[in-house]
């Protein structure tokens, strides 16, 4: 499916006009990729009401012509930093007396450098911080092209989980499990992992972010696997917790409490529902089980070109979910010195509920 970057830029222009800005400088790389398709590590996009120009450097000449396919988006190979070149170009455009920039992704040092590249008379007033992020707001709602890719990405994650299950056994090191997942991901065509793979076994599973260590997997105990791949720029994210040997009653109860909380969270997802209400749906199950204290993070997050993006699914979050958002639902309980359990799915918000993108089983798997 061909991505319609001009449609995205058109939507952005309407927001720009509403904000009263004749120009926009985009320097956050995932935003650049979203708007023009370029995936290189040096890029800036300059947008006015009439034209769009992507700036990169000489290392990316070939890649830029391959990836930026719309004839309406100009590509310029800059001899200075891409953002500086884009800023100078914007300031030279007729009728462009000001340009917005995203203060969330521009450091003070970067802004100073950009201003120094402008003619003296423009330095003070040309750049205007956007009152609210424009591209990020567009990226919140995934279009059909993105949803196709994200479904594929999530299914690749599920395949990896199926692949790793028969390999997991006591004595194997956590890093060996992570390495196998990552190796297989590359063979499947993933561009990379979307974050450092978490393999946390035994008492280490009580760490919500237990990156794989050299610790061997125990004979008895949980193994939490939290991983994701990058497919066509988009991240997948899923967590499953499996058990080596027979779980104790306490482990089983904790597992099924998290399972129920996770399903309650997914069931609460729907267009128009506040993020806080989704969080509460999951959290209330764990509270009822006396595990409220053990659930020490928020219920989920948006995912897309970045592994963590808006919206945040956390306590008291007022923002309402909208159809087309892709979020994770990932409650967990962590009992220090004992064990932890987390279960995470990626879901698309629909008008009437949620479409689960990671259908891998959530039943408690016992491995021997």
Task: Kindly indicate which of the ranges 46-54, 115-123, 245-253, 324-332 contains the residues binding Zn ion, using the contact rule CB under 5 A.
Answer: 324-332
The answer to whether 263 contacts Zn ion (rule: CB under 5 A) is no
Q: Which is nearer to Zn ion, 291 or 307 (CB)?
A: 307
The answer to whether 237 contacts Zn ion (rule: CB under 5 A) is yes
The answer to whether 226 contacts Zn ion (rule: CB under 5 A) is yes
Least distance in Å: CB of 86 to Zn ion? Answer: 33
Site string for Zn ion, 341-360 (x = CB under 5 A): ---x----------------
Task: Kindly indicate which of the ranges 26-34, 104-112, 140-148, 337-345 contains the residues binding Zn ion, using the contact rule CB under 5 A.
Answer: 337-345
3-state secondary structure the chain: CCCCHHHHHHHHHHHHHHCCCCEEEECCHHHHHHHHCCCCCCCEEEEECCCEEEEECHHHHHHHHHHCCCCCEEEEECCCCHHHHHHHHHHHCCCCCCEEECHHHCCHHHHHHHHHCCCHHHCCCCEEECCCCCHHHHHHCCCHHHHHHHHHHHHHHHHHHHHHHHHCCCCCEHHHHHHHHHHHHHHCCCCEECCCCEEEEHHHHHCCCCECCCCECCCCEEEEEEECEEECCEECCEEEEEEECCCCHHHHHHHHHHHHHHHHHHHHCCCCCEHHHHHHHHHHHHHHCCCCCCCCCCCEEECCCCCCEEEEECCCCCCECCCCCEEEECCEEEECCCEEEECEEEEEECCCCEEECCCCCCCCCEEC
Site string for Zn ion, 280-319 (x = CB under 5 A): ----------------------------------------
Task: Kindly indicate which of the ranges 24-32, 45-53, 90-98, 237-245 contains the residues binding Zn ion, using the contact rule CB under 5 A.
Answer: 237-245
Least distance in Å: CB of 253 to Zn ion? Answer: 23
The answer to whether 56 contacts Zn ion (rule: CB under 5 A) is no
Residues that bind Zn ion (rule: CB under 5 A) add up to a total of: 5
Q: Which is nearer to Zn ion, 56 or 328 (CB)?
A: 328
Task: Kindly indicate which of the ranges 60-68, 103-111, 234-242, 271-279 contains the residues binding Zn ion, using the contact rule CB under 5 A.
Answer: 234-242
The answer to whether 279 contacts Zn ion (rule: CB under 5 A) is no
Q: Which is nearer to Zn ion, 90 or 193 (CB)?
A: 193
Least distance in Å: CB of 12 to Zn ion? Answer: 27
Closest-CA residue to 5 (of 216, 146, 99): 146
The answer to whether 328 contacts Zn ion (rule: CB under 5 A) is yes
Rounded Cα distance between 211 and 220, Å, is: 20
Least distance in Å: CB of 154 to Zn ion? Answer: 12
Q: Which is nearer to Zn ion, 89 or 259 (CB)?
A: 259
Q: Which is nearer to Zn ion, 56 or 239 (CB)?
A: 239
By CB under 5 A, name the binding residues for Zn ion: 226, 237, 239, 328, 344
């Amino acid at each position: 499916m061909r991505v319609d970057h001009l449609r995205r830029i058109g939507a952005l222009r309407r927001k720009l006009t509403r904000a009263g800005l004749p120009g926009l400088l985009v320097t956050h790389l995932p935003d650049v990729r979203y708007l023009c398709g370029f995936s290189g590590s040096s890029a800036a996009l300059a947008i006015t009401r009439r034209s769009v120009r992507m700036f990169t450097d000489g290392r990316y000449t070939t890649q830029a012509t391959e990836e930026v396919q719309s004839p309406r988006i100009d590509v310029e190979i800059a001899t200075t930093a891409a953002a500086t070149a884009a800023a100078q170009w914007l300031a030279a455009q007729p009728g462009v007396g000001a340009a917005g920039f995203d203060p969330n992704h521009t450091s003070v040092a970067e802004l100073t450098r950009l201003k120094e590249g402008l003619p003296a008379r423009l330095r003070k007033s040309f750049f205007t911080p956007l009152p609210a992020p424009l591209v990020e707001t567009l990226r919140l709602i995934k279009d059909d092209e993105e949803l196709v890719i994200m479904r594929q990405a999530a299914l690749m994650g599920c395949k990896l989980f199926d692949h790793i299950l028969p390999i997991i056994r006591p004595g194997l090191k956590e890093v060996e499990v992570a390495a196998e997942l990552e190796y297989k991901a590359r063979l499947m065509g993933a561009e990379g992992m979307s974050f450092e793979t978490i393999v946390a076994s035994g008492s280490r599973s009580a760490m919500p972010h237990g990156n794989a260590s050299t610790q061997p997997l125990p004979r008895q105990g949980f193994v939490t696997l939290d991983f994701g791949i990058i497919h066509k720029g988009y991240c997948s994210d899923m967590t499953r917790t499996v058990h080596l040997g027979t779980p104790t009653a306490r482990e089983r109860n904790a597992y099924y409490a998290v399972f129920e909380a996770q399903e309650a969270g997914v069931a609460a997802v729907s267009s128009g529902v506040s993020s806080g209400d989704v969080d509460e749906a999951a959290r209330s199950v764990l509270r009822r089980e006396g595990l409220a204290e053990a659930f020490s993070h928020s219920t989920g997050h948006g995912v897309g070109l970045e592994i963590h993006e808006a919206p945040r699914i956390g306590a008291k979050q007022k923002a309402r979910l909208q159809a087309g958002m892709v979020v994770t639902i990932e409650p967990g309980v962590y009992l220090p010195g004992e064990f932890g359990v987390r279960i995470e799915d990626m879901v698309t918000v629909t008008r009437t509920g949620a479409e689960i993108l990671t259908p891998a089983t959530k039943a408690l798997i016992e491995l021997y």
